[in-house]
Chain A
């Protein structure tokens, strides 16, 4: 057991996929399972036009209609159809069509493929590059917020896939299990917590709930006073500040401003980092509860059912994970540029907490999936002296890779209406040229902007050559 780690902090944000947030960090010298510029991931829209991932997501405004992320919608996103036959493997082909229906048109539907440039997320991407990115962390079920968050607190959703109630039924939580071992834990919260209905926590509110406004002050104090396990909730709704101004939502749920969540991530990291005693004994996990209906190219993986319970309507036996989500682990014992290919889901959080802070691990106290889950302590290199460097959030280390990916994205992007017209004109012009000068029409000229551009340019060059030949003929 790594004795150095006395505190595990978990910041769980909302509804973003891995590719959407971190996919464009992939580079020649940084081989995460991200966006491959030579083989761009795409979905087809309702007119069977290819919509490629692009790196032009905006901090707010792209996803005004909240993308669907209930079980039935996620099924369509994974398989491209609503009722896949048994045994069919997810091909991640239905994101665009599903969102086009929600957003009301194909143009808006294409926004679901938009990803962020690393420099748009300087805090998240810098922490990822400086510490560890887990590029195979999957949400626990292919469904919405509450059941996924239940896995992070309880290790199961007890056969539930929806956002409906029954969460009051005395779920047993990691906080109570840690208390059994006399280990302190708490939830830092601002305006809401999915744990609101857990009887065991509500019975001891003072022990388990702390106003997030105190997080900085607690971290700045005696390291021994900081609870061993701390789960941090973002601000889910904007609020009026008491003396004027607006306190924004920081959960990064679409379409909340992504930059406000960046500030929260920075503040959580800074609060831990400012106290050397605390920093030298801490691990921070930054993870998202589910993909929120946003595209990702990696198919979910088989997982263990936590408790054997199944959902009847819709039918699901909890042996398939949800979609991949961004996950970053920060600790002074992690080397810069660490990339973990290990498969994690949200039960890895509670498994790690129990492994770090109790002497009964492995245990099925929080069900089978947590008992078998990969734990995060394997990311630590405890032979390292604790790192005391401060990352520079202002300078993005990823800019160099952007033009290359941009160019590739542009080459493989679908044609606009104007480009389609240009290709038609080029085909007409090509037909009027002397046979020896005519350009061969390549495959994909109507599908990929790169092919179309090359063809149009070649026809133009040939037309100029033909015109010059005619002029020379006239002169001669």
Chain B
């Protein structure tokens, strides 16, 4: 298994896709932080400059794009094997396909640690600088550290879910477009419009876990952080189970 994980990590490192996506993510992430920290003197911002949870919320908010990145990286890790026909040599080396799946999951989880560290380094530094420049409260309370821990967990979960989506869909364009439409349109529209249903969606569970409800005008409408965590674990487990069920049976043509 160790050899397979090393091989998967080498796959991630040896094309420009990963680095390109990560750079684009960091750029977009900086933009998210900028809009999360209110201007000095702004009227009725969702979270005011002197709110002690401002840093946690601003940084928590900045996970939006990195989470999309993790699902895409996970999805691409599988779909590109079919797009470029590398699934054949991969399965020739390891014909027990569940082991390949597990190796991809582990490699995505490991990569998520590196990527989350990089995204946090940028967002925390940038948010503190921005808040201080506007004379705001940039303290790191309990909520901040909970958000950091939640960030590492959801990033890993999204990577794992991404791999499962890739294993199930296999068509790269369908998987990528599907993920983007779901995360950037469906959830963004349905969750605020119908929170009673929407709060059970993976995106809402993630926002609950990151405790960013107040900043996106969903204060009190999301599940509790712990319930959000349970829901997200449920989605991840379901995706993993489906991928494990389907992958060994499919013909590789």
Same complex: no
